[in-house]
């Protein structure tokens, strides 16, 4: 039993020499295809990163705008209005604030969706091209 697991280096080399991989006549074409795959992946990552940066920038703009609006609203509430008028103004501020928040969330979601769709489109396009390339290589192998 120990003989099966104690292979000599010459035995390993002989085994590897007998092992045959399918012959690819167009190794350069295969290398170019792999390079295009990596370029597509890199481009998709770049689009995703740019999208994430755009989302972060827009989110900061929204936060800054919200803070400015809240500060102005607090100043406006310190006036000499009657309690009923102040309550009405607070309700209006809450309603408009809620509507802006929903609108901002939708805008951020749209930015994310657009970025993801662009990155996925790049990958899908390259995948389709790669499948065509594989078919062409297989056809060359079968024909030659």
Average pLDDT for the chain: 84
Q: Indicate whether 111 belongs to any domain.
A: yes
Q: Which pLDDT belongs to residue 104? A: 95
Region of 21 (left: φ > 0; alpha: ψ -120 to 50; beta: rest) is beta
Q: Which pLDDT belongs to residue 3? A: 54
Would you say residue 23 has pLDDT above 60?
no
Q: Indicate whether 12 belongs to any domain.
A: no
Average confidence (pLDDT) over 97-123: 94
Q: Indicate whether 141 belongs to any domain.
A: no
Residue 26 CA: distances (Å) to CA of 19, 33, 35, 50, 142:
20, 11, 14, 36, 13
Q: CB within 8 A of 41, min separation 6: which ones?
A: 123, 126
Other residues' Cβ atoms within 10 Å of the Cβ of residue 44 = 20
Would you say residue 132 has pLDDT above 80?
yes
Q: Which pLDDT belongs to residue 29? A: 78
Q: Please give the model's pTM, rounded to 2 decimal places.
A: 0.65
d(CA 11, CA 105): 66
Q: Indicate whether 105 belongs to any domain.
A: yes
Domain containing 65: what range? 56-132
Structurally, the chain folds into a number of domains equal to 1
Q: Which pLDDT belongs to residue 87? A: 86
């Amino acid at each position: 039993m120990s003989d099966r697991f104690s292979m000599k280096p010459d035995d390993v080399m002989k085994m590897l020499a007998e092992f045959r991989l399918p012959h690819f006549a167009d190794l350069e074409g295969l290398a170019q295809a792999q390079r295009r795959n990596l370029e597509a992946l890199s481009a998709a990552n770049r689009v995703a990163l740019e999208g994430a940066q755009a989302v972060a920038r827009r989110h900061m703009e929204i936060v800054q705008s919200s803070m400015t609006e809240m500060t102005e609203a607090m100043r406006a509430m310190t006036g000499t209005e009657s309690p009923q008028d102040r309550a009405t103004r607070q309700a209006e501020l809450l309603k408009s604030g809620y509507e802006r928040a929903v609108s901002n969330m939708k805008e951020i979601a749209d930015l994310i969706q657009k970025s993801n769709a662009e990155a996925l489109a790049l990958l899908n396009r390259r995948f389709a091209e790669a499948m065509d390339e594989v078919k062409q290589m297989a056809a060359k192998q079968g024909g030659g």
